[in-house]
């Protein structure tokens, strides 16, 4: 979805350059130069964009729900680890970039969804995603959000990243997390409380072409992901008037469950051992969150999370 909108925005920019309105493209390039650092400095959200009626229909289509399990005090900053990535990351976008659900459940907190920096280099598209509350996933961007002295900021990071989207098959419970410890280090450096978030139903929105590890397709996808910075899962779902084939996601409910916070004391120079200990605790809390809620959302009792 992001790719399609980004392509449209880039296409529109090219048309401007080639048309009689080329001077508008030049003015925008000047603006882009002056505004380049904004995605790493909290972005530029618009409550008007976040409240568009289209997002209400977007959330109701699946539908998307946000479930609270514990209070989050606005006196602290938080780093929310979102799992799994899925293909669309619909739960993260629907709950943290649109609508009043997060604000109503966690008053006093402002969520910032961190996404790959590459998206902010796309003309016009960058303005749209910043308006929705998205900011760069670069280290300096996360630091900017979590460095709010008064508290009340929540960084939302999709921990598995683009690589995890290649595991987004219906029923899959595999998370790319064992080697991802940068978010732990950031939480320690800023004293941001860690909050595991699991979005049930995220992997059920699309069917993906079989790409087991070691297959030629998976090897190609992984190489492209390393080169371009984002993955290219081959997926399909339903069409507009039929359910056999298309790119519209299936209507499967998404329940994004926000877990209890893990208190973190500020440590500007954490050791590897301290990072490992907190990472292990985070994995433990994430697994516990999943086990406590899986029965409510159709996960068989014998199934558990797989950490890779």
CA 238 vs. chain centroid, Å, equals: 23
pLDDT digit string (tens) for 128-143? Answer: 999 999 999 999 999 9
**The predicted structure's pLDDT at residue 195:** 98
**The predicted structure's pLDDT at residue 243:** 81
Checking if the pLDDT of 292 tops 70, the result is yes
pLDDT (average), residues 148-155: 95
- Sorting pLDDT into bands at 50, 70 and 90, what band is 124? confident
**The predicted structure's pLDDT at residue 142:** 98
Domains of the chain from N-terminus onward: 1-35 (no CATH), 39-307 (3.40.1130)
Checking if the pLDDT of 4 tops 70, the result is no
pLDDT digit string (tens) for 156-173? Answer: 999 998 889 999 999 999
Q: Which of 3-17, 35-49, 92-106 has the lowest mean pLDDT?
A: 3-17
What is the percent of the chain with per-residue pLDDT over 90, rounded to a whole number? 77
- Sorting pLDDT into bands at 50, 70 and 90, what band is 24? confident
As a whole number, the mean pLDDT across the chain is 92
pLDDT (average), residues 277-300: 97
> Where is pLDDT greater, at 89 or 243?
89
pLDDT (average), residues 193-198: 98
What is the percent of the chain with per-residue pLDDT over 70, rounded to a whole number? 96
Buried b (16+ CB within 10 A) or exposed e, 45-84: beeebbeeeebeebbeebebbbbeeeebebebbbbbbbbb
Checking if the pLDDT of 212 tops 80, the result is yes
Q: Between β-strands 193-200 and 254-258, what pairing exists: parallel, antiparallel or unpaired?
A: antiparallel
Question: In DSSP terms, which residues pair with 67 in a beta bridge?
Answer: 257
pLDDT digit string (tens) for 222-236? Answer: 888 887 777 788 888
Checking if the pLDDT of 277 tops 70, the result is yes
**The predicted structure's pLDDT at residue 232:** 82
**The predicted structure's pLDDT at residue 155:** 98
**The predicted structure's pLDDT at residue 17:** 79
pLDDT digit string (tens) for 89-109? Answer: 999 999 999 999 999 999 999
């Amino acid at each position: 979805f992001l790719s399609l909108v980004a392509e449209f925005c880039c296409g529109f920019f090219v048309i401007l350059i080639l048309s009689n309105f080329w001077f508008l493209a030049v003015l925008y390039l000047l603006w882009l130069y002056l505004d380049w650092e904004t995605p790493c400095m909290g972005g530029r959200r618009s409550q008007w964009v976040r409240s568009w009626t289209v997002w209400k229909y977007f959330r109701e289509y699946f539908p998307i729900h946000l479930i609270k399990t514990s209070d989050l005090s606005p006196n602290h900053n938080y780093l929310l680890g979102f799992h799994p990535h899925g293909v669309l990351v619909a739960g993260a976008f629907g709950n943290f970039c649109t609508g009043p659900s997060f604000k109503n459940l966690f008053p006093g907190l402002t969520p910032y969804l961190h996404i790959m920096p590459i998206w902010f280099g796309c003309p016009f598209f960058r303005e749209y995603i910043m308006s929705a509350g998205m900011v760069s996933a670069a280290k300096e961007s996360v630091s900017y959000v979590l460095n709010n002295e008064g508290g009340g900021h929540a960084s939302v990071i999709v921990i598995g990243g683009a690589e995890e989207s290649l595991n987004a098959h219906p029923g899959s419970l595999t998370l790319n997390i064992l080697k991802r410890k940068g978010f732990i280090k950031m939480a320690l450096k800023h004293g941001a409380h860690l909050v595991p978030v699991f979005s049930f139903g995220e992997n059920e929105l699309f069917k993906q072409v079989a790409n087991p590890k070691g297959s030629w397709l998976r090897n190609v996808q992984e190489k492209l992901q390393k080169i371009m910075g984002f993955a290219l899962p081959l997926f399909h779902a339903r069409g507009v008037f039929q359910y056999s084939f298309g790119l519209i996601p299936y209507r499967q409910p998404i329940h994004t469950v926000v877990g209890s916070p893990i208190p973190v004391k500020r440590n500007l120079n954490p050791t590897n051992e301290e990072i490992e200990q907190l990472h292990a605790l985070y994995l433990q809390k994430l697994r516990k969150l999943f086990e406590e809620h899986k029965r409510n959302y159709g996960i068989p009792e014998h199934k558990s999370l797989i950490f890779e």
